[in-house]
C-alpha cells in the first residue's frame, strides 16, 4: 500500500493533509523520515505520525436495507448512492458487494475488504440469493418447473442454473438463484411471459436482511455473518 493511502486510512485524514504532513517530515517508516507519498509500505513496517505509531483500521462489514431510488454505486451525479446512507468515517473506502437495480429494494452488503467481496460475487461460488418478487400477472402453473429446469434468456447462449420458486400468492413469489446475471430475476420472469413490478432481496447465502432495519437503515455485520460468507 502507498504511504499516503496508509496514513490517510490509519489517521483518518485526507490525502491532501497527508501530503502536507509528509512535506514537513512528520511521517516515519521503521524509524526513517519519509517524504515520498508513493512509497510502498512493506508488511510489518512501523509507521509513525509525529512519533506516534499508526495502525490500519480493521476491515468493516455492513448490511443495508436499500430503498428504491438509491443506486449501488460509490458515486453518481444524479441519484443518491448506498454510500450516502452511511454515517461512517472514511465511508468512501467502502463499496457495495454486487449490485441491485435502482428500483430494487432489500439487502445490500458493504465492505472495504476486497477479498471477502470477491468471494461473494465470484461466479464460481454460486452463492444463493433470495428475492421476493411481485408480478404483474398471475404465475403460470408450470412456472416453478420451468425455473427448476433452467431458462434460456434472450441474448444468452447458456440456460440459467436451476432456480427454486416458492409461490406466496398468485402474483407474489420467492425465488432463489445460484448465480447473478444482469437483471436476471426480471429477465427470467419475462421469459415466463410475466413482468416484475417490485423486487426485494431478502438474503445472500446465510445472511438474511435484519427485519428491524427500515429502508435506508444499516448495521454492522456480526462476526458469524461475516464468517458465513467468507
Residues that are catalytic? 101
* Nearest alpha-carbon partner for 110 in 78, 163, 70: 70
Strand pairing class (105-111; 95-96): antiparallel
Residue with cell 496514513: 7
Residue 161, φ and ψ in degrees, nearest 5: -65, 155
Tell me how crowded residue 193 is: count the other CB atoms within 10 A of its CB: 9
Element (H, E) at 95: strand 95-96
Handedness of CA 158, 165, 188, 200 (dihedral sign): negative
Listed in sequence order, the residues at least 6 apart from 222 whose beta carbon sits closer than 8 Å to its beta carbon are none
Distance CA 172, CA 225 (A): 28
List beta partners, residue 176: 130, 164
Amino acid at each position: 500500500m502507498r504511504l499516503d493511502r496508509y496514513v490517510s486510512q490509519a489517521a483518518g485524514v485526507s490525502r491532501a493533509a497527508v501530503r502536507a504532513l509528509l512535506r514537513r517530515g512528520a511521517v516515519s517508516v521503521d524509524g526513517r523520515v519519509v517524504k515520498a507519498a508513493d512509497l510502498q509500505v512493506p508488511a510489518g513496517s512501523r509507521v509513525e505520525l509525529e512519533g506516534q505509531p499508526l495502525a490500519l483500521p480493521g476491515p468493516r462489514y455492513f448490511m443495508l436495507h436499500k430503498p428504491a431510488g438509491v443506486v449501488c454505486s460509490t458515486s453518481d451525479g444524479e441519484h443518491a448512492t448506498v454510500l450516502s446512507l452511511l454515517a461512517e468515517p472514511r465511508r468512501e473506502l467502502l463499496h457495495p458487494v454486487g449490485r441491485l437495480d435502482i428500483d430494487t429494494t432489500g439487502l445490500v452488503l458493504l465492505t472495504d475488504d476486497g477479498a471477502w467481496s470477491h468471494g461473494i460475487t465470484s461466479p464460481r461460488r454460486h452463492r444463493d440469493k433470495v428475492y421476493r418478487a411481485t408480478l404483474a400477472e398471475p404465475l403460470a402453473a408450470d412456472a416453478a418447473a420451468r425455473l427448476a429446469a433452467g431458462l434460456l434468456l434472450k441474448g444468452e447462449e447458456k440456460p440459467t442454473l436451476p432456480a427454486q420458486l416458492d409461490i406466496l400468492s398468485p402474483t407474489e413469489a420467492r425465488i432463489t438463484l445460484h448465480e447473478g446475471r444482469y437483471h436476471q430475476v426480471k429477465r427470467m420472469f419475462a421469459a415466463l411471459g410475466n413482468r416484475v413490478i417490485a423486487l426485494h432481496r431478502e438474503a445472500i447465502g446465510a445472511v438474511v436482511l435484519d427485519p428491524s432495519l427500515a429502508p435506508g437503515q444499516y448495521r454492522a455485520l456480526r462476526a458469524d455473518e461475516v464468517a458465513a460468507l467468507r
